[in-house]
Amino acid sequence: MRIAAIVAASAFAFLPVLAKAAEAPCITPVQAASLAGYALPSVISGTTKRCSTTLSEKSFLKANGTALAQRYASRKTENWPAAKAAFLAMSKGKEGADKVFSQLPDSSLREMVDVVLEGMIVQEIPVGECGKIDNVVRLLAPLPPENTAELVALMIGMATA
């Protein structure tokens, strides 16, 4: 279990978001995977930005981070309905946030989620872990986006069980 937690945290460093999803009884595995899939482009972009000063020019993220984020972004529209349901379920009881979020047009909510995710990553990743994260991303990059999303959701589910 500890290894799964380390890998999940390192994979894209957004354990707080998906851990809440995995712990919430109202979030289905499909919703957790969709949330992961939806978040991955923002997470990859944020990780690439955060680690840009510590990684070498030959690192995977520096060389391929932008292209990888774009490849994963191709599934954002497909992932959005279940990701939105997960996001709204996670925000229930948070000082009326769920009501505010549920009233926003989809385009506004998506933009807000994207900005918040990338900003969280930029602030939260310990730069000392960038090398490990770069290696994990390199290893996961050949997988199809949907497999990576499911794997990340599964690892986080295992880590929080």
Tell me: the pLDDT tens digits for 115-161?
A: 888 888 888 888 999 999 999 999 999 999 999 999 988 887 777 66
Cβ burial of 93 (10 Å; 0-12, 13-18, 19+) is exposed
Place 11 in a pLDDT band, splitting at 50, 70 and 90: very low
Average pLDDT, the chain: 82
Q: What pLDDT does residue 19 have?
A: 52
The residue-averaged pLDDT of 81-107 equals 84
Count of CB atoms within 10 A of residue 5's CB?
16
Q: What's the whole-model pTM score?
A: 0.80
